[in-house]
Each structure stands twice: as structure tokens, then as C-alpha cells.
Structure 1
Amino acid sequence: MTVYETIKADPVSGAIPDDKAMLRAAVELTRDIATARPGIYWPDMLVSAAVGYGALAGAILLDNPWAALACAAVAVLALYRALLFIHELTHIHRDALPGFRFAWNLLVGIPMLIPSFMYEGVHTLHHARTRYGTVEDPEYLPLALMKPWSLPMFLLVAVLLPIGLLIRSAVLVPLGAIIPPLRRLVWGRASALSINPAFERRAPEDDFARMVFWQELGCSAWAIALLASTQWLGWRPLLIAIAVVSVTAVFNQLRTLVAHLWQNEGEAMTVTAQYLDSVNVPPPGLWAELWAPVGLRYHATHHLLPSMPYHALPEAHRRLAAHCGAGSTYDRASYPGMAMLIGRIARSTMRRR
């Protein structure tokens, strides 16, 4: 076993004391880069969405199967990047990027049937100091400590996601408008991008409730229109779109699978323990920029600095890595790539047969 593997082999304990020097450095070294820059957010999101929809059109319209397949691959990557701006929407200040939330929902969230309310008010619970890794965390399961069949099931859920989203918006939400118990069930159990099956969402209130109403209305109208379009366009366009979204969801589920080590058994964790249970995949590897775009290759650093805009995370990582040095607590959250991390979790589950 190499030194690298030895460092990574020990399970993360919630009792790990906070590395106060690292936490202080994270704040002090990054103050000057903590402002979201509209000149980066807007072009990145708009170009990603435009390329994604253009490539999706090519996948649907082209007769050459290889050309259509190439377009589908581009659509997956571009729409995946566009969708992941939902993560930024949960962290940036409401007044930081005027109009960005509305534009993203109009161009990406509603057409993909994943409006921002599915993450807003949910993801922040994952970052709550006393909730991370506990049963109250909607985005945590001790996957590394579960049975081997849990990983295939984890990915199967993603494969079926677009079908579930269609049923939710086209059928369940409209029915819920006239059947209150169904409405409460759909909201509580099927309105959040969560992986914890025990999580039940609270009813929305005030301004957030109004935002949810309009986003739900948009999604339902669009989902019904998509299903109705099959009457004159046939099923081929919709099935291709479903396939593209399904692969996109699998990409995101794989990214989620390696975003943490998933070793906590439910106890509250210190900030440093949360950091060490999270994952950075820094350069020189290039592939991580495709499967963990919009700053998510620096997921551990993000847990130290949740409000840091995605475009500043590479520089934040460089500063902290240089300041803390090799072998430091900060360095211990860096890994070489997805394959190694999936293998690590898979081996852990195999020991629990």
C-alpha cells in the first residue's frame, strides 16, 4: 500500500477535532475572490444551454446514427453543465446576480423539469453545521457502509429520473391541485433533489411559496405539452430527449457518488471531519472538468467555503494548497479521479455482504 493509499484508508470520524489554522486560512486567503462575477456566470450558463439544446436538436433531426450519437454526447455534457448552475443558485446571495435565477429557470430548470425550488431550501441543509451526515441531511447516505446492491440501485434511480419528472409534473402536480393529500405527499416526498429516503420536505411559505407556484405551473404546462407533442411528432423526439436527460442524470449521480466518502454513520461532525469526508479532484487531471463542472471538482473546498463562487474555487484551492502544504489536513481531501473513488466505495460495500 502506498503512502497515499494509507492516508486515505482510515474512515473519517465525526470526532476529528477542527483544524482551526486551516479554517482560518480558508477565510483569510480568499476574501478578495469571494464576489460572484456576472461576466462569467451569464455567458457560461447561456452558452452551455444553447450548445446543449442545439446538440439535442441535432440528435433528434440527423439521420446519420453516428452524427446523431455525437450530438447526443455533446448535448449530455452541455446540458449537464447548464443544469449544475442550480447548485450556484442555492449559495449566491439573492441580489448578487439580478435576473439570473429567473433566466436559468426559464431556459434550463423548467424545460428540464428541474426548477430551482427542487434544490433551494434543500441543499443548504446539507451544509448546516449540525446536520451534515446525519439523518436530517437530505443529501447524505452512508453509501460506503451499505450493502453491495445499494450502488446499482443508486444509479438506477438516475436512469429513471426523466420519466419520474414527467409523471410528477404532467400528472401528479395537476392532480395535487384538486387533491390536497396528494399535493402534500408530492411536495413532501417528490419535490427535492435529495438522496436520503427519510427526508420529508416542509411546506413552502411566503415568497418561496409564490415562486414554487409559478415554477410548478411552468413545469406542468411544459410536461403536458411534451406528452401532447407525441400526437403529431411521434414518440421519437421525446424518447431521444429522455435518453439524453437520463444519461445526464447518471453523470450527476456518479459525480454525487464520489463527492463524499460517505463514511459517517449518523453522528454530528466537526467542520474538519465534514471536509475530510468530502472530495477534491484538482488538476492535472482534465476529465474532472467534464464530470464535475461548475467548480464541483473542488467539492471539499466548497464545504469549507460554501458561498465562494464556482469561478473562484480553482484559485482558492491553489492558495490553500500552497499555504497548507503537502501532507496537511487540507491536502488529505484531494484524490486523483473518479475511477479510484468508485473503486474505493465499491470495495467498502463488498466487505459488508
Structure 2
Amino acid sequence: MNSSIALNLRDTAAASAPRPGSQRVADDKALLRAAAEVARDLHRPNPTIFWADMLASALIGYGALAVAATSSWTGLAIVAGVVSMLALYRAAMFIHEISHMKHSSVPGFRLGWNMAVGVPLMVPSFMYEGVHNLHHARTRYGTVDDPEYLPLALMKPYTLPLFVLVALLAPVGLLLRYAVLTPLSFLVPGLRTVLIERYSGLVINPAFRRRAPEGDARTHMLIQEAATSAWAIALLTMAATGIIPLHAFAVYLGVVAGITLINQIRTLVAHLWENEGEAMTVTAQYLDSVNVPPPAMLPALWAPVGLRYHALHHLLPSVPYHNLGAAHARLTAILEANSPYHKASYVGLPGLVSRLAASTMGIRR
């Protein structure tokens, strides 16, 4: 899942010498064949795991949010706020699974997730469904038609902190989108078109324009959008009239901002961002993506719900999050040491951030 706020950063690409393009990497057929074979029995999602994980994360998150909003002890409020942010972040990341799953495989999960997480956090699932799958399209990844790709490694150094910090504006942007622009868009046809094309997807590529959903997708979008709009309007009304104390409202906005900030940092290291716009082979896409497997423990917090295996996910996008660890273990055991598979695994967040920062300064690692 990527930021809901896109930056017009493509014009800030560093004027450096051409780099070896990852798009020129040929497909490693042994790797692709091995990935397909080890995952034959791993494609079925486990409904019990999905529901238990999502609901537990949401309950912990909202419980901690209540403590943070009502506690008079600053230390406890801060700790509770961090717990709330991390738990609700994990719950929110199920939007990624929803965008890939066959909904009949976990009946009712999309509806339940939207009621428990998507609407309250103002990120209903339609903002990822029908958008994220384009990031996995063979001929779109890393190109100007990819909604979730920017060549960050080729841009100027100042774009990285800007890319991260803009996420803090997400709560205000989401309230504006749902409490103000959504109702207006049904009265102003031109605004409706702009809202769907530019502000109805969790994307980072400012050149991307979403096509209006059709059929069932349009129905789901309208229902989710109406529910989220009603929630945003009610939230602002309750805060303005004192039904919800302004302090509690500010804590809620702070937690949502924290969720988008940590997700933006995760997005920053989800790929190497070194492609210059050409179509890439599947192996090249894999090598431009990042795994942060065990024994590292912190990725379980900043890259939850299988996102620590982001590169592997690009090889096996239909494998549910709870089976990616098994797929990784199998591939690690059977592939030779010189296999490209091992080249996408990294130690942790600091090294990945420093690598990306060095790349923006023209330093190759």
C-alpha cells in the first residue's frame, strides 16, 4: 500500500549519467519455475487467520487510541498512541490483501474490513482495488503507467524527505476529500471526473489517472464512498460541536498521520526505484524490489502483513501474506547461492534508506 498523496517529482530527476538499467536483466527461468513449483499448495488464504489477525489488530488499535485520547498521564498517552498507530497500521495493511484476493475465498472479509478499518481510517478498499493490480501488470511496472512507481533513486536528494513528510498531510487531505469534495462532486460533474481520476487511488505517481470503475466495482465504490463521507462529516461535526473533545480529535488525526508516515517510509524502501521508465522483465522487477526476511524482527512492525517479502510478492502475487514466509524458506533452501533470488534480500531499514539516499547523490553501492 502506498501513500494517498502523490508528489509531482518526476521533473526532479537528477541529471546524472545513465545507469545500468535493471530493465535489461533477462528473466531467470530457473527462478521463475522454482517459485511457481514451491507455491503450488500455498495460494489458498486461511479465513481464520485473516479474520483473527485483522480484528485483533483493530481492537488493540482502537483500545490504545481510546487510552491515548483520554489519559491525563502524558507518558501513558504517548505509549498508547504508538501502540494504536502500529496496531491500526497492521489492520490497515489488509487493504493490500483485499486487492489481490478472490473475495469468495474469505467470505465477507472486504465488508468487515471496510466497516472496522477502511471507513474509520478514511481509506476504503476501493482506493486500492482496481489500482494496485496495475502495479503488477507485466508491461506497466516501473513505467509512467504504473500508479505506484517513481524513479526515486534517480531524483534529487531533497525529494526523499519531501516524499516522506508529505504523508503527514494525509488526514487533512482525506477529510477534505470525503467531507467536502465527495458531496460536492455529485453536484458538479466536472469535479466528479477529477475526483475519480486523481483522488480515488492510493498512488504515488502524479501522472496516473484512474478510469471510472464499472459494474460491481462502481457499486462497491459508491457504497464505500458514501459511508466514508458520512463518517468524515459526522467526525467534523462532532468535533466542532464538542461531542468529541478537540484533544481526542487531534489524537485521532495524529494516529492517522503516524500510520501514513510509517507506510510512506516503508514505501520508500519497498523498491530500489532505479528503473528509468522502460518495461522490465519479471526477474528485473523482482530485483528492483525488496525482501527483509528473518532474523530481522523490526520489519514485522514497519512492513506487516507479508510486506517484508515485497520482492517475493512480485513473483507470487496471489500467495496470501501468511504463506509468504513458507515460500521464502522453500526457495532459500532449494536455490543455489548464485541465484538472483538471494540478491533481493536486505538486512533492514537503515541500510535501505542510506542506499537510496546515496543513489540520489550519484553514489552507487
TM-score (normalizing by structure 1): 0.96
Q: Is the 8 A contact 1:143 1:262 kept in 2?
A: yes
Match of 2:259 in 1: 248
Match of 2:133 in 1: 124
Query: Matches of 2:148 and 2:21 in 1, distance apart?
Result: 17
C-alpha RMSD of matched pairs (Å):
1.1
Query: Matches of 1:327 and 1:17 in 2, distance apart?
Result: 15
- The 5-angstrom pairing of residues 290-309 of structure 1 reads 290-309=301-320
> 3-state SS of the aligned residue for 1:351?
coil
Query: Matches of 1:12 and 1:24 in 2, distance apart?
Result: 24
TM superposition outliers: structure 1 runs of 4+ over 2 Å: none
The one-letter amino acid paired with 2:43 is A
Q: Is the 8 A contact 1:12 1:273 kept in 2?
A: no
Query: Matches of 1:12 and 1:86 in 2, distance apart?
Result: 32
Match of 1:264 in 2: 275
Match of 1:5 in 2: none
Q: Is the 8 A contact 1:12 1:276 kept in 2?
A: no
Unaligned runs of 5+ in 2: 1-18
Deviation at 1:71, TM superposition (A): 0.4
Query: Matches of 2:290 and 2:63 in 1, distance apart?
Result: 33
Match of 1:68 in 2: 77
Query: Matches of 1:73 and 1:327 in 2, distance apart?
Result: 41
Match of 1:170 in 2: 179
The one-letter amino acid paired with 2:29 is K
Query: Matches of 1:325 and 1:227 in 2, distance apart?
Result: 57
* 213-222 or 342-351, larger mean C-alpha shift: 342-351
Q: Is the 8 A contact 2:23 2:275 kept in 1?
A: yes
Q: Is the 8 A contact 2:103 2:109 kept in 1?
A: no
> 3-state SS of the aligned residue for 1:265?
coil
Match of 1:332 in 2: 343
Match of 1:278 in 2: 289
The one-letter amino acid paired with 1:310 is Y
Match of 2:124 in 1: 115
The Cα offsets for residues 113-132 of structure 1, whole Å up to 9 and x where unpaired, read as 00000000000000000000
Match of 1:7 in 2: none
Deviation at 1:94, TM superposition (A): 2.3
Q: Is the 8 A contact 1:11 1:263 kept in 2?
A: no
Question: Is residue 18 from structure 1 mapped to residue 27 from structure 2 by the alignment?
Answer: yes
Q: Is the 8 A contact 1:255 1:292 kept in 2?
A: yes
Residues matched between the structures, number: 343
Query: Matches of 1:301 and 1:12 in 2, distance apart?
Result: 21
Match of 1:151 in 2: 160
Query: Matches of 1:301 and 1:325 in 2, distance apart?
Result: 16
Q: Is the 8 A contact 2:43 2:318 kept in 1?
A: yes
> 3-state SS of the aligned residue for 1:33?
coil
The one-letter amino acid paired with 1:224 is I
Q: 1:89 aligns with which of 77, 98, 102?
A: 98
Match of 1:287 in 2: 298
Deviation at 1:234, TM superposition (A): 3.3
Q: 1:40 aligns with which of 39, 49, 63?
A: 49
Deviation at 1:12, TM superposition (A): 5.1
Q: Is the 8 A contact 1:142 1:262 kept in 2?
A: yes
The one-letter amino acid paired with 1:101 is R
Taking every aligned residue pair, what percent have the same amino acid on both sides? 58
Query: Matches of 1:20 and 1:129 in 2, distance apart?
Result: 15
Q: 1:104 to 1:11 in 2, by over 3 A?
A: farther
Deviation at 1:325, TM superposition (A): 3.0
Q: 1:12 to 1:37 in 2, by over 3 A?
A: farther
